[in-house]
């Protein structure tokens, strides 16, 4: 068997993963456009909203977006199997992007509020950095299984950007500003909780063989 087909056997293409990634990318472009289509017009409400935080917003938008885009590719088994060096390089860029993108979001929250969501930015940023740092530690110490699991825990903290913005209009409609706060905090809580559910799912549903079956086996 050729080395190429070995790689393909070890890393089959996951159509579900590709479809989910594409859906997530489309949702992200949609929420960015929906909120910021007027941002380059200085007299628009959105440009005026962000004006006091411009110095933080530009690096934040650039680095957090880089992390969000690169993260998707880091989960590609085929990319990892075929081009390990690319995976490593993108991984280090992801780390730098998280370290800049997270805290700069806190500075924006500090500058333009709303005050009710300041701690949400702190917790989201903390979760993003800590999970990424643990993933880095694991890969540096050769613990690839835990590296993968902590990267799966890291990415959702960034993905809160898209998920929260998708549900904010519903939150605002149902409960006004209180709805906004609830949507943001719920998204962050889900980012912290759902990856563990996903990672442990097979263990949760695995059935222990009944003793008679086990004996027969
Ligand atoms: C720990 C993670 C993050 C924190 C704490 C954070 C925090 C914030 C805050 C407080 C704002 C201002 C929102 C407003 O006043 O309306 C903001 C805006 C923004 N963030 Fe983040 N963010 C994070 C992750 C991300 C990610 C992953 C992206 C990647 C796309 C991103 C891109 C942006 C952009 C483009 C804006 C300006 C436009 C907008 O609000 O839609 N952020 N962020």
Which of 110, 65, 72 has its CA nearest to residue 91? 72
pTM of the entire structure? 0.91
The Cα–Cα gap between 16 and 77 comes to: 13
The Cα–Cα gap between 57 and 108 comes to: 7
At residue 208, the pLDDT reads 76
Reading the chain (217 residues) residue by residue, the pLDDT tens digits are 334 444 444 566 788 999 999 999 999 999 999 999 999 999 999 999 999 999 999 999 999 999 999 999 999 999 999 999 999 999 999 999 999 999 999 999 999 989 999 999 999 999 999 999 999 999 999 999 999 999 999 999 999 999 999 999 999 999 999 999 999 999 999 999 999 999 999 999 998 776 665 555 5
Question: Who lines ligand 1 at CB under 6 A?
Answer: 32, 35-36, 57, 60-61, 64-65, 67-68, 101-102, 105-106, 108-109, 112, 121, 124-125, 128, 157-158, 161
Distances (CA, A) of 147 to 9, 134, 135, 150, 164: 22, 7, 4, 5, 26
Q: Output the residue whose Cα is nearest ligand 1's atom 35.
A: 61
* CB of 152 closer than 8 Å to CB of 199: yes
The Cα–Cα gap between 46 and 176 comes to: 18
Phi-psi region of 142 (alpha: psi -120 to 50; beta: other; left: phi over 0): left
CA of residue 122 to ligand 1 center, whole Å? 12
Q: How would DSSP label each residue in 131-199?
A: HHHHHHHHHHTT-HHHHHHHHHHHHHHHHHHHHHHHHHHHHHHHHHHHHHHHHHHHHHHHHHHHHHHHH
At residue 7, the pLDDT reads 44
Q: What H or E segment, with its residue span, contains residue 76? A: none
């Amino acid at each position: 068997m050729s080395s190429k087909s070995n790689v393909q056997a070890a890393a089959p293409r996951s159509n579900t993963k590709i479809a989910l990634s594409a859906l997530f990318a489309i949702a992200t472009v949609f929420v960015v456009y929906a909120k910021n289509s007027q941002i380059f017009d200085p007299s628009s409400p959105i440009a005026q909203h962000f004006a006091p935080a411009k110095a933080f917003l530009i690096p934040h938008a650039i680095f957090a977006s880089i992390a969000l885009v690169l993260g998707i590719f880091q989960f590609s088994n085929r990319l990892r199997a075929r081009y390990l060096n690319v995976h490593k390089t993108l991984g280090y860029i992801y780390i730098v992007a998280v370290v800049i993108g997270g805290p700069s979001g806190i500075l924006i929250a500090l500058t333009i509020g709303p005050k009710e969501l300041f701690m949400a930015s702190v917790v989201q940023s903390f979760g993003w950095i800590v999970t990424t740092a643990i993933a880095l530690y694991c890969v540096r110490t050769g613990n690839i299984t835990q590296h993968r699991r902590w990267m799966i825990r890291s990415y959702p903290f960034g993905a809160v950007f898209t998920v929260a913005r998708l549900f904010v209009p519903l939150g605002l409609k149902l409960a006004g500003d209180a709805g906004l706060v609830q949507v943001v905090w719920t998204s962050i809580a889900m980012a912290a909780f759902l990856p563990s559910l996903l990672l442990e799912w097979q263990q949760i549903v695995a059935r222990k063989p009944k003793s008679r079956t086990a004996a027969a086996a």
